[in-house]
């Protein structure tokens, strides 16, 4: 098993999108990239902890590659919006890839270059690609939030 961490706006939709990918064994929503230990949702929403809402994706690389997960990541949000996705704005909703090993960094940077060169977006792709810091799981009521409410997942 390997782990990937992605920030693409509100973590509920991000979680649902990755849950539906063959080879993904588990998705946990939480917080990464900040400077406060054990942050709460309320603290992260204040924008003062430096954390982003993220989905930690545990996957079987023999079934799905990190590159394929990046393809999902690019499709489920607007990577030209650094601190805003839809109605949500603030650094906690930034577009970011938190890599867990140098190979992931290299794959993510190349994938970002290819996306920018594709001409799909008129504006620059501003997604941050940074080393993963401590991942803090979100409160239990955030886990599988949409599926617990009968909301169908993201359709790619």
CA distance 80 to 121: 8
Q: Which CATH class is domain 2-148?
A: alpha beta
Q: Which residue has the tokens 């940074």?
A: 130
More confident residue, 64 or 87: 64
If you ran DSSP here, which 8-state letter would residue 8 be given?
E
Please determine, for residue 152, whether its predicted confidence score (pLDDT) is greater than 60: no
- 3-class DSSP state for residue 70? helix
Domains of the chain, residue spans = 2-148
10 is catalytic: yes
The dihedral over CA atoms of 100, 56, 29, 27, expressed in degrees to the nearest 10, equals: -170
Cross-strand bridge partners of residue 155:
none
What's the token pair of residue 85?
A: 């996705």
Cross-strand bridge partners of residue 53:
31
CA distance 79 to 128: 9
Please determine, for residue 67, whether its predicted confidence score (pLDDT) is greater than 70: yes
Q: Which residue has the tokens 């949702």?
A: 41
Q: Which pLDDT belongs to residue 155?
A: 39
Q: Which of 10, 32, 45, 154 is catalytic?
A: 10
Q: Are 97 and 6 in contact (CB under 8 A)?
A: yes
Mean residue pLDDT across the chain: 93
pTM of the model: 0.92
């Amino acid at each position: 098993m390997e782990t990937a961490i992605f920030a693409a706006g509100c973590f509920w939709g991000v979680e649902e999108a990755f849950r539906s990918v063959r080879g993904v064994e588990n998705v946990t929503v939480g917080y990464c990239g900040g400077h406060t230990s054990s942050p709460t949702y309320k603290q992260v929403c204040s924008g003062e902890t430096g954390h982003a809402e993220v989905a930690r994706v545990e996957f079987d690389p023999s079934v799905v590659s990190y590159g394929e997960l990046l393809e999902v990541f690019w499709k489920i949000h607007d990577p030209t919006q650094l601190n805003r996705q839809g109605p949500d704005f603030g650094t906690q909703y930034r577009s970011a890839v938190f890599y867990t090993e140098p190979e992931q960094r290299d794959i993510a940077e190349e994938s970002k270059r290819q996306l920018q060169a594709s001409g799909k977006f008129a504006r620059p792709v501003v997604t941050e690609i940074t080393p993963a810091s401590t991942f803090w799981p979100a409160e239990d009521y955030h886990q599988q939030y949409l599926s617990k409410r009968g909301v169908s997942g993201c359709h790619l």
